[in-house]
Structure 1
Amino acid sequence: MKCVTIHDLVERFSLEVLAGSAHLNQAITKSRVNRPGLEFAGYFEFFSHAHVQILGQKEINYLHTLSETERNSRIGNIVRYHPPCFIVTRNQGGLKYLIKYCEEEGIPLLRTKEPTSKFMELVDDYLAKQLAPEMTIHGVCVNVSGIGILLRGISGVGKSETAHTLIRRGHRLVADDAVVLKKISPDTIIGTHDGKTKEFLALRSIGLINVSRLYGRKAFQDETPIVLDIELTKWEDQALNNQLEMEPMFTEYLDIRIPHLEIQLQPGRDVAGLVEAAANNWYLRQQGYSAVEDFMKRLEQHSE
């Protein structure tokens, strides 16, 4: 898990620092923001004080309606919990009283021109990904027709070459060699790159290529939810049965089970095409269609 500081938020969202500039290195540990409307009204039972606090028009307009004495009391009740920071949206002004308290308590007060709801979504998404549990695995991550796939296998088995073929067919590279997996919800893992290898694909006998420069910007995307784990293995006779439907297998990453398939390699075999077929078949299953069930129904109809 990365360490995210208030300074990171300032840089990421181009925030204006109104107070507490000496405390921007403070760490943020919670991934969701909070709007302290009830707290300004005096209700603190469920106050998420460890979260970034967002002050929209409702909160600021409410404070403007209070007398100076009452406003100081309401603000004082909140700042004593020492939240990481306050962020005022829509470039709202008239904040002298907030600036005063934040300076005294060493709490950064920041401001953005963005509307409240949109800004909260952006910050929630950013913090969720930055603070998510993560791990790095050896492999390739691709997005095939909108479906995130991990390609794994021993070194030299052909993962990058398969990814290259998929890219030439219009699909997208996410990461080569080092794939960073992040758990952003109890049942969702995204795959991304480590920054250093962004857009690069290493091909044996060719070397390093930049897929965006070679095939255009559509050849790469920054991240993708992972829904399939495909292992490329060397061909072994009789190792795989030709059954109508294989028993479901799974690989577990960060306590989340991902459907697992094995594709054996053999000269002349269209591995990229098989990966495409696996992705499309997974999609059809999510829509409630099973080719095996359809086939068995046809057999029953013809036997009547």
Structure 2
Amino acid sequence: MIKSVTVQDLVNRFSLDVLAGEKELHRQITKSKTHRPGLEFVGYFEFFSQARVQVLGSKEINYLHTLSEEERNLRIGNIVKYHPPCFVVTRNLDGLKYLMKYCEEEGIPLLRTPHPTNKFLELMDIFLTKSLAPEIAIHGVCVNVSGIGILLRGKSGVGKSETAHTLIRRGHRLVADDIVVLRKTSPETLIGTHNGKSKEFLALRSIGLINVSRLYGRKAFQEETRIVLDIELTQWENNALNNELELEPTFTDYMDVRIPHLEIQLQPGRDVAGLVEAAANNWYLKQQGYSAVEDFMKRLESDH
């Protein structure tokens, strides 16, 4: 199913003024990037992104102002006939009666914002990318440990929420409990967030439902995080995991995004939250180019 937002969603999100096409705010937007129709105004349509939100800044509007009425009508008419979802004029630019006329006739919303063009493009692209990103929901817990997004997975009752609670007590943050929504915002980027209903809530066996923000302060909760580690909590099995210097890397695929996978076995008295912290910090060091195994082997070699 193709995700979409409506022009009305943009109006609400960015407090946009509606200059024309008010009856067409239900129009759907399915593309996650905006477009500035520069080449199109001079008649080149080979790569026109007609399904994208069209943003008009000072350059585009000032160019239109320099044209004769006949030429301006031609340039605008060539674009509106493609029926893009909407036009947004930045910097509260005025003198747009001719543009309002065409948009009203063609049923295309014409919107306006006080934001500078580059700033608005950045904000709009971020909003559309997140809103239109492919997503799935999985059973698990999502936490942010020292700035590192982690999925905690495992069978029901294995201790995911309890581990998250311990992490929160140590100053880390909850993102989602029970249902984690994963959004693919780029070929390499996976964002974890909550489903809205479970926001800030953590379910603990023998205790019940708690609101982590009310209990531990706003710093205990985070809206979303980039997922970089997938940790599976499993029951302890003798000899199932060996104390090797370095485990063979494994990965979990979510919507074709590969996430490093680790398994942590549970046993009474074992500091699982501490092991999650260690995994997060070790991942960070590897991103900085440090390998504890390589460092250790160099020390052994230096003794010979």
TM-score for both structures, normalised by structure 2: 0.98
Q: Deviations over 1:11-69 (max 9, x none)?
A: 11111111111111111010000000111122111111110000011111111111111
Tell me the SS of whatever aligns to 2:258: strand
Tell me the SS of whatever aligns to 1:177: strand
Segments of structure 1 that go 5 or more residues without pairing to the other structure are none
1:215 alignment counterpart: 216
2:8 is equivalent to residue 10 of structure 1: no
Instruction: Report how far residue 214 of structure 1 moved.
Output: 1.3
Separation in structure 2 between the aligned mates of residue 164 and residue 16 of structure 1, nearest angstrom: 45
Separation in structure 1 between the aligned mates of residue 218 and residue 258 of structure 2, nearest angstrom: 31
Separation in structure 1 between the aligned mates of residue 220 and residue 111 of structure 2, nearest angstrom: 37
Separation in structure 2 between the aligned mates of residue 208 and residue 117 of structure 1, nearest angstrom: 44
1:66 alignment counterpart: 67
Instruction: Report how far residue 223 of structure 1 moved.
Output: 0.8
Separation in structure 1 between the aligned mates of residue 12 and residue 253 of structure 2, nearest angstrom: 35
1:250 alignment counterpart: 251
The alignment-based identity, stated in percent, is 80
Instruction: Report how far residue 2 of structure 1 moved.
Output: 3.7
2:96 alignment counterpart: 95
Matches within 5 A, 1:178-193: 178-193=179-194
Tell me the SS of whatever aligns to 2:65: helix
Separation in structure 2 between the aligned mates of residue 28 and residue 140 of structure 1, nearest angstrom: 31
Separation in structure 2 between the aligned mates of residue 213 and residue 69 of structure 1, nearest angstrom: 63
Separation in structure 2 between the aligned mates of residue 250 and residue 93 of structure 1, nearest angstrom: 54
Q: Deviations over 1:265-288 (max 9, x none)?
A: 111111111000000000000111
TM-score for both structures, normalised by structure 1: 0.98
Is residue 3–residue 30 contact of structure 2 (8 Å, CA) maintained in 1? no
Instruction: Report how far residue 128 of structure 1 moved.
Output: 0.8
Tell me the SS of whatever aligns to 1:263: strand
Instruction: Report how far residue 216 of structure 1 moved.
Output: 1.3
Separation in structure 2 between the aligned mates of residue 182 and residue 276 of structure 1, nearest angstrom: 24
One-letter amino acid of the structure 2 residue matched with residue 10 of structure 1: V
Instruction: Report how far residue 3 of structure 1 moved.
Output: 2.9
Separation in structure 2 between the aligned mates of residue 112 and residue 272 of structure 1, nearest angstrom: 47
Instruction: Report how far residue 240 of structure 1 moved.
Output: 0.5
Separation in structure 2 between the aligned mates of residue 216 and residue 64 of structure 1, nearest angstrom: 54
Tell me the SS of whatever aligns to 1:257: strand
One-letter amino acid of the structure 1 residue matched with residue 290 of structure 2: Y
2:161 alignment counterpart: 160
One-letter amino acid of the structure 1 residue matched with residue 59 of structure 2: K
One-letter amino acid of the structure 2 residue matched with residue 193 of structure 1: H
Tell me the SS of whatever aligns to 2:143: strand
Q: Deviations over 1:191-226 (max 9, x none)?
A: 011111111111111111111111111111111111
Cα RMSD (Å): 0.8
2:141 is equivalent to residue 123 of structure 1: no
Tell me the SS of whatever aligns to 1:98: helix
Moved over 3 A (4+): none
**Equivalent residues, number:** 303
2:148 alignment counterpart: 147
Segments of structure 2 that go 5 or more residues without pairing to the other structure are none
Separation in structure 2 between the aligned mates of residue 227 and residue 146 of structure 1, nearest angstrom: 10
